[in-house]
Amino acid sequence: MAANLVKKGYEVTGYDIVAANMEKAAALGVKKGSGIKAVAADSDIVITMLPESKDTKSALLDPGGAAEAMRPGITVIDMCTGSPTIAKEIAAALAAKEIAYIDAPVSGGVAKASEGTLSIIASGDEQAYQTCLPLLQAMGEEVFYVGQTGNGQTIKLINNMLTGINLVGICEGMVLGMKAGIDPRLLLQVINSSSGESYSSRVKMPGFVFKRNFNGGFKARLQHKDMNLATTLARELQVPVIMGAMAQQYFLAALSGGRGEEDASVIVTLLESITGTEVRL
C-alpha cells in the first residue's frame, strides 16, 4: 500500500517496529523514519495499519505515542480492521487536539493491496475524507464513504463475518464432495458457475487448498479476530448471528491447533482429519 502511494508521487515516510518490514518498504521507495513520533511530527497525513484497534490506540495515544508529536489540523487515517467502539474513542481523543480522524479499513487481501485495487471503506470526518480521497484512490480501486466514525469498521466486520461463513461452507462442501467420490475440480467448476459461488470458492480453493499450500494469504488468526469483533458487536446490539458464531469456532480450532499464522483456508484440514479424506487434485 505504501509502495502504491510512492508510485503515485506521494512522499512517504514509514516506521515499523519490525526492522525487516522497514527494509522491504525502503526497497520500494519508502523513506525510513526513526520512530512513530518523528514520523508524525513531519507528516500532514498519518496512516496507520496495525493488526488490531487496541494496537492503533496504543501507538497513537499512549504516553510517548504519535499523537504527542502531531500538529493541529493534520489527519489520521486508521486502516486496520478493528473495533467501532475504539475507533470512536480514538476520534474523540484526536478531536480534542484538533486532529481529524478517518477509520478506513480495507478489503481485498494481499494481492489487491499490491495491485492498488483494494476496496476501502471510509468513515468519519467528511471534510478530511474529501481532502484525502486522491490518496485513498492511490491504494484502492473502490473507495466508499459510509458516514460517521465507526461505520467503516462496522461494515468491514460484517463483510469479514460473511467471508468466514462462506469459507466454512465451501470447505464443508468440498470435503463432503471428496468423501462422496466426486472429482474436486469438477465440483468446484459447477459451484463457481452456480449459486454456491463465493470469493472463497473462487480464490481460496484453487489458490490454497488445491495447492496444499497455506502460506501467505489472510491469516486464520486475523480471521478469528475479525469474527470475534463481529460477534462481540452483535452481542452489544442484541442481534443473533448464529452462523457467524458457529463459523468462528473453526478459526478458534485452527488457533488451538497451532495453525493461526497460516491462511484461513487451513480450516479445511480440521474437517479432513475428522473425515479421513483430503481435498486435493
208 contacts 170 by C-beta, under 8 angstroms: no
Task: Confirm whether 219 is a catalytic residue.
Answer: no
222 contacts 230 by C-beta, under 8 angstroms: no
Nearest to 164 by CA among 251, 81, 233: 251
Q: Which amino acid is at 53?
A: S
Catalytic-role residue among 8, 31, 37, 156:
156
Cell of 130: 474529501
* 163 burial level (CB within 10 Å; 0-12, 13-18, 19+): buried
Rounded Cα distance between 84 and 233, Å, is 8
SS3 57: helix
Cell of 217: 494469504
| 87 φ, ψ (degrees, to nearest 5) | -60, -40
Gyration radius (Cα) of the chain, Å: 20
Strand partners, 227: none
DSSP class of residue 265? G
The set of catalytic residues is 156
